[in-house]
Structure 1
Amino acid sequence: MTVDRKSVPSVSVTYSQNGSSTRANELGMRPMQERAFERRGEQYLLIKSPPASGKSRALMFIALDKLRNQGLRQAIITVPEKSIGSSFNDEPLSRFGFWADWHVEPKWNLCNAPGSEGSKADSVGAFLKSDDKVLVCPHATFRNAVEKFGVDAFDNRLIAVDEFHHVSANPDNKLGAQLAELIARDKVHIVAMTGSYFRGDAEPVLMPHDEARFDTVTYTYYEQLNGYKYLKTLDIGYFFYTGAYSNDILKVLDPAEKTIIHIPSVNSRESTKDKIREVEHIIEELGEWQGTDPATGFQLVKTPEGRVLRIADLVDDDASKRDKVSAALKDPAQKNNRDHVDIIIALGMAKEGFDWIWCEHALTVGYRASLTEIVQIIGRATRDAEGKTRARFTNLIAEPDASEEAVTEAVNDTLKAIAASLLMEQVLAPRFNFTPKKVENRPVEGFDYGEGGYDPNKCNVGFNEESGQFQIEIKGLADPKSKEAERICQEDLNEVIAAFAQDKTAVERGLFDEELVPEELTQVRMGKIIKDKYPELDEDDQEAVRQHAIAALNLTQKAKQAALEDPAGEKGPNNALIQGVRKFAMDVRELDIDLIDRINPFSEAYAILAKTMSEESLKQVAAIISAKKVQLTPEEARDLARRALKFKQERGRLPSITSSDAWEKKMAEGVAYLARMKQEAANG
């Protein structure tokens, strides 16, 4: 990145390029596929794995085994949009060592079939009566077919749901309701797959009792990127601009990088409301238009240096032109041709399931409301390709302007972009396994505990590079008791952190409230989010989940701080983050949960914001947020009083309102607030 650009990566992760995630075993399976195949006997399987890790092929292996060895009659694969159906085209798996090939009769790939969804539903009915084995269809077709034929028509079949985050437990989401019925009937096998770590964003995909029936296979971003052959570093950052974005775009767009530009939706604040003109303006900024390539429909643009860029415009409303460009991008003959296209400009396209391995930069204009969408967009740039050592995602956001009426909206977008970058750090980091520090603890096999090895007298941090997992001992950490709480601590901490980082009050106060006591966020706010999210857990389990989630979030933040302070770091795979966690654990006298609770999870994000936003804007944002200071709510006061009670049990006295310890004082305020409320109620 050149120095004159204001873009500061808020996350920069480096991986070891050990080649393992792309290496196949004797059956032709990559590690993620092998891991999923080991669980092929499960009736309900959820595969959580990043874009490009090979989920489609993993499903082929599992489906073939279920059809041949587990007695299932047929497999139905349902995808959110027609274009993704091509992921399930025929594959000669036996050529790579598997015992069968993957084949779909052309008439049963309904993603390619003409006609209305109603007539396609009839095709599903015909398939159910046939002797053929595999059908691929869009989610809409599947929904209509279940409605038409009832859930019992699908007995003894495998239902595979690709891009599972499109489903939700909301009663208005038909596919979610139908899946719940299929699970209740218990006569089908279900494989659900998602590349998003934030299923359904704000709404759960399945109700907890249904989700508990699924066996989960998780393959992390860390494992995926660490096991690549070429791609070594991934940067994620945001960049603020003033005026029209098209004037500032070249500050972050490097014409030498293969780039997908997602321009803003016409309804968004960033849009000029003339998408065609926006594309023309980007093209003009890049150089001199040379006409259109007749074969592909790509725009040809000559840069000032004399290079001719090939630009695919997927924004044009003329369907015939757009379809030609789209077809040229999908041309299988060009899949490995790096020079086929240089820049793709899209609006609403080229996200999920879009394969362009050469993409080095995903540049998104305007805030995206959905974390799932951000994960999908970043996934476009994280494919491994020869000669591609670095990839980046940049979010171009309008800087809040106090003179605008929409300034509050602008501030909200800024806060959400920060939250998204915090969450992406969690997704890209190695996996944390926390354990309470006990005398009888021993080192875990396969983990490297750093210089001097495992020390039974202190809290140890072990790391296993191959699996990308930390083993961290924390004094005073609560252990989950129930199976469900254990599952959440192992599989769903990112879900909890997502809910917390999207909590507006938490982000606003964490960034701009100078009087903030961190425990108000880490204990009270996070505690409330967990109570709301997992009401079925008892209080002890809710507290265990809270502690695990806040430890994962705050250790990532502290590690990042260490990495930013020492950007060169020691050489080695993703070393800055790993060394950062170790350094933090060694610098403190003891790694205990109280210490972790005393860290403001947003302080690092503020440091980056201060570097990327102009000082004037930063002051304005702070002023807007502090103008709406929130008073204590009765619910928060009750939570503080509960914690005050725990404090009394431990110390033999209630917290003091005059204490010099800010958290003790805050708990005392909660007790006083409740006493006032009681008094007022008694006085009528």
Structure 2
Amino acid sequence: MAESKRIPSVSVNYACNGSSKKSNELGMRVMQERAYEKRGEQYLLIKSPPASGKSRALMFIALDKLNNQGIKQAIIVVPEKAIGASFNDEPLTQYGFYGDWTVLPKWNLCNAPGEDGGKVNSVKAFLDGGDKTLVCTHSTFRFVVDRFGVEVFDHCLVAIDEFHHVSENPDNKLGAHLGQLIARGSAHLVAMTGSYFRGDAVAVLAPEDEAKFETVTYTYYEQLNGYEYLKKLDIGYYFYSGSYADSILDVLDPSEKTIIHIPNVNSRESTKDKHKEVDHIINELGSWQGVDEDTGFHLVKTAEGITLHIADLVDDEQPKRDKVAAALKRPQEKNNRDHVDIIIALGMAKEGFDWIWCEHALTIGYRSSLTEIIQIIGRATRDAKGKTHSRFTNLIAEPDASEADVTDAINDTLKAIAASLLMEQVLAPRFNFKPKKAESGPTEGFDYGVGGYDPAKTNVGVNEAQGLYEIEIKGLAEPKSPEAQRICREDLNEVITSFVQDKPALERGLFDSTEAGGETLPEELTQVRMGKIIREKYPELDDDDLEAIRQHAIAAINLTQQAKGMINKNGAGETGANTALIDGVRKFALEVKELDIDLIDHINPFGEAYAILSKAMTEDSLKQVAAVIAAKRVNLTPEEARELARRALKFKQERGRLPSLTSADAWEKRMAEGIAFLARMKAEAGNG
């Protein structure tokens, strides 16, 4: 693929200190120990990446609830049958715990024949009996509640795996059932997820329900930083034109263990013939030698004379596909790196799929769900001996403004960029922001670099062991209520997810910003759009707390983006060798004259993404797309005018006057325009 078509990847190096794989005297790894400390909570939410040990964490907690907390039974609920295997028997006493985890074969309903609806009576029989543990699917659980009501789970533990499948949308039955369980208040709930995001941007839980959960957070950074072998993760986005099958070898390295996710047949990227796409990929890789009779894998000899074992999970012939799927799941092959080389999948090999040797997750076409992207990336982030480097590549069709479906093409591009921005946030260390005050001082356990803590400037402290950055910002608002403090501590990525999925913010930030020659000021994104999103997301909070959350969220995304920009400016990003995103945070924070919230608000959160996009797309194509966005521009909406008026009131409180329409400062002038717009609306309403 031509270099001009390449979007440089975000690349993060990790310390490889082995901490996330070390066990304590009870056999618990770091995340599991952290979760176990909260085992007494009635409602517990565990946010932790794929492969971090959530299943075993649940076993420890469930055994304690059954033995010490008066809980009579534990029901483990998983989204699909294959994931039920994660809760098979575990001899925990061998590693220091006081009891073993066991599920009688008849109570692992994921292994039982028949449909979910037919397993309802089995669940009821379990609940009426004396056995302690059962595993079933989300679907079976929903049928049970529909038939018997939530009261059958009184004094039980209900553990929901892959909790992001839940939604507060009234049409989401699992979400509705959980709401009923919480309202009844008799069951204990443990919710587990590796990606607390939904592609539809609907909240997972209603705010009043979520507030009842104690949260245990274990970040991607902590997980990867504590591995033994995997040192580097790249996230790359590449545009192509024409057929993706003709460009795939530009991003596919046959020597890497790879899962290729081909596009859905209804997507723009699809040729509409998935079988021909698979055949084309195989032919591009080399000469087909036949099919292995034992596994069903295709045997393909490359030009270098190496025979690749390729698993085709796209084949519609059920016996063939089942044979391949069964071969991939063989327990005896889990630690055999040479068992398979490439897996080609469509709608499979994502959530719950465990292939520790995967080094490259190659996905063709954008994915509308951020959850799905995190799940796909999770396939490549398992730690395995000798595996030092892994990557995720998204191959995306370049938007062409001359096509009839240009709007769809632009939307796809925007969604792919949103996913990129979110993943950069997910992979970064956790930020703790503190207001810089005269009495500020160092925090124990943090390294402030050469010279240590300097009371005369804004400082950046690093705690590598916990993956924490403490950053001082002058003028930063502090959250006052416990809920606002929790959001700033735990949920900034959820806020940023809503922001980067906000289509007007993305469109204007990328194609109508001042960097792109447009009219949108950074503050219209950082203050107006983000302010609107937070106000809608947390309507129960007061203005001071809303402003504190807004400032913390904007600081998090803008500091991550500026860190990337600092590294790209030095040339590392051009080669994909962007080895220290976190170093960029420190560089930016230390190089600016004074790190304050006004400075951060004055940065376009999508400016770095635009800089990359301008290199990845042709100049003509970029101009055409910008023209399409500009044609949709709405000068001002009543909602935006009200948000501008709020900002104008704050301006007046700080400066003793209202913003002026004749000001030379563009942002002051825009706030004044908001006031004038509302005045005209009021006058027109008064005139009837």
Q: What TM-score do you get using the length of structure 1 for normalisation?
A: 0.97
Correspondence for 2:192: 193
Correspondence for 1:360: 359
Moved more, 653-662 or 541-550: 653-662
Deviation at 1:169, TM superposition (A): 1.2
Instruction: Decide which of 587, 594, 607 is 2:611's aligned counterpart.
Output: 607
Correspondence for 2:207: 208
Question: Residue 595 and residue 498 in structure 1: after superposition, are their counterparts in 2 closer, same or farther (change >3 A)?
Answer: same
Correspondence for 1:298: 297
Deviation at 1:633, TM superposition (A): 0.4
**1:557-636 to 2 correspondence within 5 Å?**
557-566=561-570, 576-636=580-640
Moved more, 645-654 or 404-413: 645-654
Correspondence for 2:120: 121
1:659 aligned onto 2:658: no
C-alpha distance after superposition, 1:62-97 (max 9, x if no partner): 111111111211110000000000000111111111
Q: Does structure 2 conserve the Cα–Cα contact (< 8 Å) formed by 1:5 and 1:251?
A: no
Moved more, 198-207 or 321-330: 198-207
**1:351-390 to 2 correspondence within 5 Å?**
351-390=350-389
Instruction: Decide which of 680, 683, 686 is 1:676's aligned counterpart.
Output: 680
C-alpha distance after superposition, 1:95-150 (max 9, x if no partner): 11111111110000000001222321100011011111110000111111122222
How far apart, in 2, do the equivalents of 1:683 and 1:102 lie? 74
Q: Does structure 2 conserve the Cα–Cα contact (< 8 Å) formed by 1:167 and 1:200?
A: no
Correspondence for 2:507: 508
How far apart, in 2, do the equivalents of 1:235 and 1:576 lie? 12
3-state DSSP class of the match of 1:585? helix
Deviation at 1:614, TM superposition (A): 2.4
How far apart, in 2, do the equivalents of 1:303 and 1:379 lie? 28
Q: Does structure 1 conserve the Cα–Cα contact (< 8 Å) formed by 2:10 and 2:578?
A: no
Q: Does structure 1 conserve the Cα–Cα contact (< 8 Å) formed by 2:48 and 2:54?
A: yes
Aligned length: 680
How far apart, in 2, do the equivalents of 1:469 and 1:201 lie? 30
How far apart, in 2, do the equivalents of 1:579 and 1:599 lie? 19
Instruction: Decide which of 642, 647, 652 is 2:646's aligned counterpart.
Output: 642
Deviation at 1:675, TM superposition (A): 2.2
Report the AA paired with residue 147 of structure 1: D
How far apart, in 2, do the equivalents of 1:256 and 1:606 lie? 33
C-alpha distance after superposition, 1:327-382 (max 9, x if no partner): 00000010001010000000000000100011011000111000000000000001
3-state DSSP class of the match of 1:234? strand
Q: What TM-score do you get using the length of structure 2 for normalisation?
A: 0.97
How far apart, in 2, do the equivalents of 1:121 and 1:81 lie? 16
Correspondence for 2:133: 134
3-state DSSP class of the match of 2:337? coil
Deviation at 1:180, TM superposition (A): 1.0
Correspondence for 2:67: 68
How far apart, in 2, do the equivalents of 1:516 and 1:171 lie? 36
Moved more, 547-556 or 605-614: 605-614
Correspondence for 1:283: 282
Report the AA paired with residue 669 of structure 2: K
Instruction: Decide which of 506, 528, 533 is 2:532's aligned counterpart.
Output: 528
1:34 aligned onto 2:38: no
Deviation at 1:17, TM superposition (A): 0.6
Deviation at 1:540, TM superposition (A): 1.1
C-alpha distance after superposition, 1:446-474 (max 9, x if no partner): 00111111112221111100000111111
Correspondence for 1:97: 96
Question: Residue 10 and residue 661 in structure 1: after superposition, are their counterparts in 2 closer, same or farther (change >3 A)?
Answer: farther
How far apart, in 2, do the equivalents of 1:669 and 1:681 lie? 18
- Name the % identity: 75
How far apart, in 2, do the equivalents of 1:649 and 1:148 lie? 59
Question: Residue 323 and residue 5 in structure 1: after superposition, are their counterparts in 2 closer, same or farther (change >3 A)?
Answer: farther
**1:151-170 to 2 correspondence within 5 Å?**
151-170=150-169
Q: Does structure 1 conserve the Cα–Cα contact (< 8 Å) formed by 2:240 and 2:397?
A: yes
1:553 aligned onto 2:544: no
Report the AA paired with residue 656 of structure 2: G
3-state DSSP class of the match of 2:546? helix
Report the AA paired with residue 358 of structure 1: W
CA RMSD of superposed structures (Å):
1.6
Correspondence for 1:346: 345
3-state DSSP class of the match of 1:115? coil
Correspondence for 1:229: 228
3-state DSSP class of the match of 1:311? strand
Moved more, 608-617 or 310-319: 608-617
Q: Does structure 1 conserve the Cα–Cα contact (< 8 Å) formed by 2:76 and 2:161?
A: yes
How far apart, in 1, do the equivalents of 2:465 and 2:456 lie? 27
Q: Which runs of 5+ in 1 are unaligned?
A: none
Deviation at 1:652, TM superposition (A): 1.7
Q: Does structure 1 conserve the Cα–Cα contact (< 8 Å) formed by 2:11 and 2:581?
A: no
Q: Does structure 2 conserve the Cα–Cα contact (< 8 Å) formed by 1:16 and 1:574?
A: no
C-alpha distance after superposition, 1:492-524 (max 9, x if no partner): 111110111011111111111122210000000
Moved more, 426-435 or 5-14: 5-14
Q: Which runs of 5+ in 2 are unaligned?
A: 513-517
